[in-house]
């Protein structure tokens, strides 16, 4: 069941096309990674979902119905370009933004207190934004994006500006919101956080979707069936179906990379067991970093 | 509460609570009151009595010099040379030396000696006295009797009365009308700029601090623009009302220290100073100079109507220009960039102020009519015309055009605004802006 259905969206600007026929399904209750190089069209798509701009063609359905103006209350948005009123006190600011998202003053106040406690911002309630550190400003901004408990949360580079401790806290919050049923669209260039968080990934390059699917499926798709072996002894000749890609003396033991063309990893192990002392044996799972680079480079070629 | 309402509330509260607002609001009336009070104080305390020793060697003028408040004539013996030393030593005295032989048909050789320049009023008095005497002597020598000469002098003062549509007539006071009209227009000009620029700065702040994107994911750009413009309009009206109250308060308190009699005295002495020896003129002048007693003359102008009109044209003119300023603010990345494209927008305001000066000369001219109809200039030009009296249909037409003009510029501005607020790092020209108007989505 998809919460958000993006159908054939086209967005043109004067000189270039930002999105050409983009279709994506964002599954309910999952973290959806929206990846792509700079200028690929991610921000255009996010702005269209937020109804900041309108698509030239195509449509977007939220739970099966075309987006309406009131739907902005069901969406929370943390833009990449952060900004708050510099001269406004953070408490008032959060209150203002929450009320613009349709919360009553009393309800907004209550929730801000809870979030400020959680993020240790309570003592700064009456401080102006310009008096806070960058990290603290980021926290306020994040709170403002999720305060109205939206069903769909769009986070554009949420971790930038956070130290590792706060980044971890933020990650737990994001996972917590997912567990409570929220759907999260997560746009980032940090592939390690994609690995950690995303259930589903779409890669946009040059205004088109070039990769789209569940994280596990994509990894499988990009798997080269290569295994890394750490051993002591002399490597025997490999039977047909197994290709030795490389072999070298490692730090503690010998290392070899072997590709499986047919046959399973268990078979390979059985073949090797009598000859070698095995220290390590693992599949080389492609990282999203590699997948990203390979896909984008392929598209360019 | 609607979203626009929430925005208005924020725009109003953050500004009203700011230090600048408090300082400016308090300082404004003080400065304005000083404009009323200082001239009064100067008149009251400048008691520097000027003394003029008159050495009349001819003997035909000396009787004509009459001392008045602030100016004393003293007849002296001798040719006057002996008083030059005294004049040199004295701060406020001088010697007027009149030569012995005066040719009535070519009088000259009159001289005044002092260590400081002669005041303009004193110089006028002396010259008038001398001239009058010479003229009278000439008339007498032609055989006319003094009583006949006196009866020759005419003094006509024009009473300006305005015919009202109802068929009656009212006193129209050209002086007060000019003053009020132009003051109103000038205040309007300043207000439109101050609050219009406030809108521009607000939009630029939202854009440069990047809070814009967060907000327009919650509200439509048009709502945001409207909320800001209305919120700042409320700030302006609030400030204006505070200023009126405070100014009247200060002036009232201050004038209670200056007693009524003192005020009258003050007026009278001024009148006498300028009209010495001409009682009928003095009466007329006194009536007019009562304008000093501000309220009386203002009554002929219908103050509540003027304030109402001022508020309407202020709101209309402000709304019109504020939406243009908002559009400009949305198109630039920082305030410095705005100067260049601000220029074309400020031209109509400047033209209006120039036209306003022409309108004072001739409030019924066709230039006055047209510029008080065009919405871009009417807030200023119409204000100048109003105290002189403007037909009702013209006022209604001008007001309707202004309202229409606001909707037109607001529509235009909103089209530019929605594109501009998301556009960064682009050098914006007027041509570019006009393209934005036709973007879709």
Q: What is the CATH number of the domain that holds B64?
A: 3.40.190.10
The alpha-carbon gap from B196 to the nearest alpha carbon of chain A, in Å, equals: 20
Q: Of residues B178 and B16, which shows the higher confidence score?
A: B16
B132 CA to centre of own chain:
36
Q: What is the pLDDT of residues B235-266, one digit of tens each?
A: 988 988 888 888 788 878 877 776 555 555 55
Residue with tokens 């006193």: B171
Residues B102 and B250 in one domain: no
Question: In terms of domains, do B269 and B299 share one?
Answer: yes
Mean pLDDT of B408-422: 87
Same domain? For B35 and B58 the reply is no
What confidence score (pLDDT) does residue A186 get? Answer: 92
Which among A79, A84, A96 is the nearest to B10, CB-wise? A96
The sign of the dihedral angle between the CA atoms of B424, B429, B435, B436 is positive
Question: Does A81 touch chain B if contact means CB atoms closer than 8 Å?
Answer: yes
Which of A51, A83, A144 has its CB closest to that of B209? Answer: A83
* Range of weakest confidence among A7-21, A173-187, B212-226, B290-304: B290-304
B17 in a domain, yes or no?
yes
- Sheet bearing B50-56, strands edge to edge: B71-75, B50-56, B93-98, B111-114
Domain that holds residue B365: 3-39+173-436
How many CA atoms does the CB half-sphere of B178 hold within 13 Å?
10
- The DSSP symbol for A287 reads P
Confidence band, pLDDT 50/70/90 cuts, at residue B165: low
| Rounded average pLDDT over A34-56 | 88
Which of B101, B125, B145 is where one domain is finished? B145
> A219-258, pLDDT tens digit by residue?
888 888 889 999 988 888 888 888 888 888 888 888 999 9
What tokens appear for B369 in the block?
A: 């009519």
CA distances from B55 to B73, B93, B95, B153, B296 (A): 10, 13, 7, 29, 45
* Spatial distance between the Cα atoms of B332 and B421, rounded to a whole number of angstroms: 8
Residues B357 and B417 in one domain: yes
* Residue A173 · residue A140 · CB < 8 Å: no
pLDDT value at residue B440: 63
The answer on B236 and B192 residing in a single domain is yes
What pLDDT, on the 0 to 100 scale, is given for residue A116? 92
Beta strands in B100-203 (DSSP E): 111-114, 161-163, 169-171
Secondary structure element (H or E) that encloses residue B46, with its range: none
**What value does the mean pLDDT take over residues B424-433?**
72
Closest CA to B273 of B126, B54, B121, B51: B121
> How many domains does chain B fold into?
2
Q: Are A31 and A178 in contact (CB under 8 A)?
A: yes
Q: What is the largest CA-CA distance in chain B?
A: 97
Q: What is the mean pLDDT of residues A160-172?
A: 89
Co-location of B110 and B221 in the same domain? no
B378-405: pLDDT as tens digits: 888 888 888 777 888 999 999 999 999 9
In a domain, B165, yes or no: no
Confidence bin at B431 (pLDDT 50/70/90): confident
Cβ distance B213 to A72 less than 8 Å, yes or no, reads: no
CB–CB of B214 and A79 under 8 A? yes
Section B21-35 average pLDDT: 83
Q: Tell me: do B320 and B212 sit in the same domain.
A: yes
pLDDT of residue B273 exceeding 60, the answer is no
* Residue B63 burial (10 A CB sphere; 0-12, 13-18, 19+): exposed
Yes or no, beta carbons of A101 and B218 under 8 Å apart = yes
Helix, strand, coil distribution of chain B in percent, nearest 5: 70, 5, 25
| Dist CA B288 CA B294 (whole Å) | 11
- Round to whole Å and give the CA distance between A180 and A283: 34
Residue B266 lies in a domain: yes
pLDDT digits (tens, 9 = 90+) for B293-314: 444 555 556 677 888 888 899 8
What per-residue confidence (pLDDT) applies to B229? 93
**B contacts of A99 (beta carbons < 8 Å):** 1, 6
* Ramachandran class of A233: left when φ > 0, alpha when ψ lies in -120 to 50, beta otherwise: left
B227: nearest CA partner in chain A = A100
Strand partners, A65: A62
Q: Which two tokens stand for residue A161?
A: 């500006």
Q: What is the mean pLDDT of residues A77-92?
A: 87
In a domain, B259, yes or no: yes
- pTM for this structure? 0.73
Structure tokens at B33: 């009151």
**What is the rounded CA–CA span in Å between residue A11 and residue A55?**
5
| Nearest CB neighbour to A83, from listed B210, B219, B441 | B210
Q: How far apart, in whole angstroms, are the C-alpha atoms of residue B194 and residue A63?
A: 48
Residue B191: its pLDDT value, please? 85
Same domain, B304 and B262: yes
Q: Do B137 and B263 lie in a common domain?
A: no
Nearest-CA distance from B403 to chain A in Å? 29
pLDDT at residue A198, as a whole number: 92
Please indicate, yes or no, if residue B153 is contained in any of the structural domains. no
CA distance A32 to A60: 16
pLDDT tens digits, one per residue of A111-135 = 999 999 988 888 888 999 889 888 8
Report the residue of chain A nearest B213, measured CA to CA.
Answer: A79
Are B256 and B121 members of one domain?
no
In this complex, is the C-beta atom of A97 within 8 Å of any C-beta atom belonging to chain B?
Answer: yes
B130 and B264, same domain (yes or no): no
> Which residues, other chains included, contact B302 with Cβ-Cβ below 8 Å and sequence gap of 6+?
none
The answer to whether residue B130 sits within a structural domain is: yes
Choose among A53, A46, A59, A35: nearest CA to A205. A35
Contact in structure between B432 and B332 (CB atoms under 8 Å) = no
> Angle CA(A124)–CA(B421)–CA(B435) in degrees, nearest 5?
175
The answer to whether residue B112 sits within a structural domain is: yes
Mean pLDDT of A254-276: 87
Q: Which long-range contacts (CB under 8 A, 24 or more apart) does B395-399 make?
A: B395/B309, B397/B373, B398/B372, B398/B373, B399/B312, B399/B316
Task: Give me the pLDDT at residue A112, please.
Answer: 93
Q: What percent of chain B has pLDDT above 90? A: 14
On whether both B222 and B82 belong to a single domain, the answer is: no
* In a domain? residue B137: yes
Partners of A145 on chain B (C-beta within 8 Å) are 214
DSSP reduced 3-state for A254: strand
Please give the full DSSP string across A105-162, using - where no structure is assigned: HHHHHHHHHHHHHHTT-GGGTTSBGGGS-HHHHHHHHHHHHHTT--SEEEEESTTTT-
Residues of B in contact with A55 (CB under 8 A): 441
The Cα of A111 is separated from the nearest Cα of chain B by a number of Å equal to 18
Structure tokens at B390: 């403007």
pLDDT band at B44 (very low <50, low <70, confident <90, very high): low
Residue B425 pLDDT: 66
Which residues from B are below 8 Å from A when comparing CB atoms?
1, 3, 6-7, 10, 14, 205-206, 209-220, 422, 440-441
């Amino acid at each position: 069941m998809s919460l958000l259905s993006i159908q054939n969206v086209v967005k043109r600007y004067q000189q270039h096309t930002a999105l050409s026929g983009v279709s994506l399904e964002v599954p309910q209750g999952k973290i959806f990674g929206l990846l792509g190089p700079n200028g690929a069209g991610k921000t255009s798509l996010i702005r269209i979902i937020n109804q900041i701009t309108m698509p030239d063609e195509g449509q977007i359905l939220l739970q099966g119905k075309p987006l309406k103006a009131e739907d902005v209350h069901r969406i929370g948005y943390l833009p990449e370009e952060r900004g708050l009123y510099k001269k406004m006190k953070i408490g008032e600011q959060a209150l203002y933004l929450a009320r613009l998202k349709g919360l009553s003053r009393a309800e907004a106040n209550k929730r801000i207190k809870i979030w400020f406690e959680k993020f240790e911002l309570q003592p700064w309630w009456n401080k102006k934004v310009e008096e806070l550190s960058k990290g603290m400003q980021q926290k306020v901004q994040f709170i403002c994006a999720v305060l109205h408990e939206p069903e769909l949360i769009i986070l554009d580079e949420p971790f930038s500006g956070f130290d590792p401790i706060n980044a971890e806290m933020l990650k737990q919050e994001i996972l917590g919101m997912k567990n409570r049923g929220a759907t999260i669209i997560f746009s980032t260039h940090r592939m390690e956080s994609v690995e950690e968080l995303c259930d589903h990934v779409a890669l946009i390059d040059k205004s088109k979707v070039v990769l789209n699917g569940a994280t596990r499926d994509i990894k499988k798709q990009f798997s080269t069936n290569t295994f890394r072996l750490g051993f002591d002894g002399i490597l025997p000749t490999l039977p047909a179906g197994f290709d030795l890609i490389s072999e070298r003396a490692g730090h503690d033991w010998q290392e070899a990379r072997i590709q499986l063309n047919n046959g399973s990893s268990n078979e390979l192990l059985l073949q090797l067991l009598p000859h070698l002392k095995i220290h390590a044996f693992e599949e080389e799972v492609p990282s999203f970093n590699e997948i990203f680079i390979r896909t984008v480079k392929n598209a360019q070629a | 509460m609607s979203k626009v309402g929430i925005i208005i509330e924020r725009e109003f509260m953050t500004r009203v609570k700011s230090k600048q607002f408090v300082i400016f609001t308090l300082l404004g009336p003080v400065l304005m009151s000083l404009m009323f009070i200082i001239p009064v104080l100067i008149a009251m305390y400048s008691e520097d009595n000027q003394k003029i020793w008159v050495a009349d060697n001819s003997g035909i003028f000396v009787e004509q010099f009459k001392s008045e408040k602030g100016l004393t004539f003293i007849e002296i013996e001798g040719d006057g040379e002996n008083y030059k030393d005294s004049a040199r030593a004295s701060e406020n005295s001088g010697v007027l030396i009149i030569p012995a032989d005066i040719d009535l048909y070519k009088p000259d050789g009159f001289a005044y000696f002092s260590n400081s320049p002669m005041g303009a009023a004193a110089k006028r008095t002396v010259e008038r006295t001398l001239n009058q005497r010479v003229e009278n002597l000439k008339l007498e020598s032609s055989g006319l009797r003094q009583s006949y000469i006196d009866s020759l002098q005419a003094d006509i003062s024009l009473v300006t009365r305005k015919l009202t549509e109802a068929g009656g007539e009212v006193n129209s006071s050209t002086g007060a009308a000019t003053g009020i009209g132009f003051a109103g227009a000038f205040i309007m000009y300043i207000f439109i700029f101050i609050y219009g620029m406030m809108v521009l700065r607000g939009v630029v702040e939202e854009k440069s601090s990047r809070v814009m994107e967060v907000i327009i994911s919650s509200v439509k750009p048009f709502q945001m623009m409207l909320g800001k413009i209305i919120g700042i309009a409320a700030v302006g009206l609030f400030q204006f009302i505070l200023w009126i109250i405070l100014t009247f308060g200060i002036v009232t308190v201050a004038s209670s220290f200056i007693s009524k009699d003192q005020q009258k005295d003050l007026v009278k002495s001024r009148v006498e100073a300028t009209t010495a020896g001409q009682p009928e003129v003095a009466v007329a002048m006194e009536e007019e100079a009562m304008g000093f007693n501000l309220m009386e003359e203002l009554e002929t102008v219908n103050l509540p109507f003027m304030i109402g009109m001022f508020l309407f044209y202020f709101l209309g003119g402000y709304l019109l220009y504020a939406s243009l300023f908002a559009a400009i603010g949305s198109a630039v990345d920082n305030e410095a960039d705005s100067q260049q494209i601000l220029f074309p927008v400020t031209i109509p305001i400047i033209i209006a102020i120039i036209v306003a000066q022409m309108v004072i000369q001739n409030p019924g001219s066709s230039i006055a009519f047209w510029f008080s109809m065009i919405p871009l200039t009417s807030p200023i030009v119409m204000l100048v015309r109003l105290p002189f009296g403007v037909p009702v249909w013209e006022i209604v037409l001008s007001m309707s055009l202004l309202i229409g003009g606001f909707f037109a510029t607001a529509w235009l501005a909103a089209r530019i605004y929605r594109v501009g607020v998301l556009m960064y790092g682009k050098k914006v020209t007027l041509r570019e802006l006009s393209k934005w108007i036709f973007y879709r989505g």
